[in-house]
Structures are given as C-alpha cells and as structure tokens.
Amino acid sequence: MAVELTRRDEFALLTLNRPEALNALNAATIREIGEAIDEVGQRDARALIITGAGDKAFCAGADIKEMLGIELAAKKRKAETGQATFAKLDRLPMPSVALINGYAFGGGLELALASTFRLGTSRLAVALPEIKLGLMPGYGGTQRLPRLVGEARALEMIMTGRTVKSDEALAIGLVNRLVPDESRVEDAVAFAREFTCYSLVALRHARAAVRRSLAVPLEEGLRIEADLSTLAFQSRDAQEGMSAFAEKRAPNFVDA
C-alpha cells in the first residue's frame, strides 16, 4: 500500500509510504489518500496528522513518468481528481496537520497546503517547481498558496520554482512551527492537543467561518460568522463551556 493509516493515541496518522520514490504521487497513491481521508472522517480521531515515510521526503510531488504521453482530457481529469482528493481535508469533521519531514515539492506541497496546519522539520524544503518543466501547479497550489503567504510571495515561488527552506517557510507563514526531526511525530501530537482539547463542533464552525470568508467580501463574511457562531452557541458543548466557566471548573466537552 502506498498509504498507511494508523492510530497515534487519539489521532489518526496518515503516512505516505513510498520512500523508495520519495513518496511521490501516482494515481494509486492519490486514490489511497482519498480513501484514507474518507475512512478518517468515519472514525473518532480528534485530528489527522499527515507525514511521509523515510528520512528524506514528505512527498516529492507528482510522478512525472506517469504523466508523459497522456492526452489533454486525461490530464484535466487527473488535475480535477487531485484537487477533489485534497479538498476532502476541508470537509473532515476534525482538523488536519501536515508534518513536512524533508522535501515537499509540487503535489506534495499542495497536499500540505490543503491541511489545516503545517509543521516542518529543519530538513524542510518546499517548492512548486512545475514551471521548470513548462507546466504549472494543478492540485490547488495557485489558489491556496496566495491565501497563505500573499500574492507576491506566492507568485515568486510559482514563477521561479525556487525552493524555500525551513527558516524562510516559518518567517512567511507557510508553516506554523518548526519541530525537531527526532521527535517530530510526538511534537505534532502535542501541537494538535493544543486545540483538540476543545469542542470539535466549535472548531469545525470556526474553520468553516475562516475558510468561507476568503471567497466573499467582508460584509458577507460577517454574516457567515454570525450564522456559524449562532450554530455553535446552540451546541451542548457551548452550554457546558459557559456553565463550567461560571462554576469555575474545567469543561467536559462531548463534541455535540
């Protein structure tokens, strides 16, 4: 299997498992990623952590050899399949954390960009190098990267194909934090616990409010926020949280 789905305490751990190919994305791997995300959505995990097997790469991007000779219609279907697969992370009932351990090029970076958060090790090296092949990103990179780091920085990365290392990635907000390589999974778990201790209902509404606001004017975004904050207020967890605050005790959230 190109993808391994395991459990790490209260979290699901998805590992891209083609270390001999730097965890590159071929059609089978994309399909297995989609199936794994669907499976996680049916489980009781509090977050999904995504990483790559081996010591060199999170994911080296698309399998270029597989792309040679395919017709235009097939290429478009391939791009749409990759986009749809990564977009499943938006619909997960729990947040996701991409743990970038080494190279994340092309589709590998696009998978990380689709995650809720990104952590990197000191060996992180990320790029959208498609321009060097006479191509451009096709799995969401041109849409998600500008939203994350701004238009100018995104255009520079996309139009030069240059590689960004760990310190710069942190400085421009491409990753949330850097973690030691030797304890990366443990640190990803600790990072996830900083927010998964709260109600998944409230977290889901907050994620949706931010995500939806990026596509609409501020006035419409404020209406979305009002609607979703009202839905959050109606949850059992909201009542428990407010009661616990008034009673000066820790809340017992049940994700409902």
Specify the CATH number for the domain of residue 206: 1.10.12
Is 56 inside any structural domain? Answer: yes
Sheet hosting strand 125-127, strand order edge to edge: 57-59, 103-105, 125-127, 164-165
Q: Are residues 89 and 188 in the same domain?
A: yes
Q: Are residues 56 and 146 in the same domain?
A: yes
Q: Are strands 103-105 and 96-100 parallel, antiparallel or unpaired?
A: unpaired
> Span 173-193, mean pLDDT?
97
Q: Are residues 216 and 235 in the same domain?
A: yes
* pLDDT higher than threshold 80 for residue 220: yes
Verify whether residue 110 is a known catalytic residue.
yes
Q: Are residues 83 and 184 in the same domain?
A: yes
Total number of residues shown for the chain:
256
Is 251 inside any structural domain? Answer: no
Domain count, the chain: 2
> Span 149-176, mean pLDDT?
98
Q: Which residues contact 206 (CB under 8 A, 6 or more apart)?
A: 228, 232
- Range scoring the smallest mean pLDDT among 22-31, 72-81, 112-121, 167-176: 72-81
Q: Which domain holds residue 110?
A: 3-196
Is 75 inside any structural domain? Answer: yes
Q: Are residues 54 and 164 in the same domain?
A: yes
Residue 67's CATH number: 3.90.226.10
Spatial CA neighbour of 3 closest among 118, 11, 188, 19: 19
Q: Are residues 222 and 145 in the same domain?
A: no
Q: What are phi and psi of 178, to 5 degrees?
A: -105, 140
User: Among residues 10, 32, 66, 110, which one is catalytic?
Assistant: 110
Verify whether residue 130 is a known catalytic residue.
yes
Last residue within a domain, chosen from 196, 212, 238: 196
The pLDDT value recorded for residue 116 is 98
Q: Are residues 230 and 122 in the same domain?
A: no
Cβ atoms of residues 59 and 107 within 8 Å: yes
- pLDDT bin (cut points 50, 70, 90) of residue 66 is confident
Q: Are residues 19 and 118 in the same domain?
A: yes
Number of other residues whose CB lies within 10 A of the CB of residue 228? 19
The whole-angstrom separation of Cα 215 and Cα 238 is 28
* pLDDT higher than threshold 80 for residue 138: yes
- pLDDT bin (cut points 50, 70, 90) of residue 72 is confident
Average pLDDT, the chain: 95
User: Cα separations (Å) of 205 from 94, 212, 224, 225?
Assistant: 11, 10, 10, 9
* pLDDT higher than threshold 80 for residue 40: yes
Between 74 and 33, name the one with better pLDDT.
33
Last residue within a domain, chosen from 196, 221, 237: 196
Last residue within a domain, chosen from 180, 196, 212: 196
Q: Are residues 103 and 181 in the same domain?
A: yes
Is 252 inside any structural domain? Answer: no
Of the chain, the percentage scoring pLDDT greater than 90 comes to: 91
Q: Which DSSP string corresponds to 62-100? A: B-HHHHTT--HHHHHHHHHHHHHHHHHHHH-SS-EEEEE
What is the identity of the amino acid at 225? E
Using CA of residue 28, residue 30, residue 35, residue 37, what is the dihedral sign?
positive
Q: Are residues 91 and 120 in the same domain?
A: yes
Q: Are residues 45 and 103 in the same domain?
A: yes
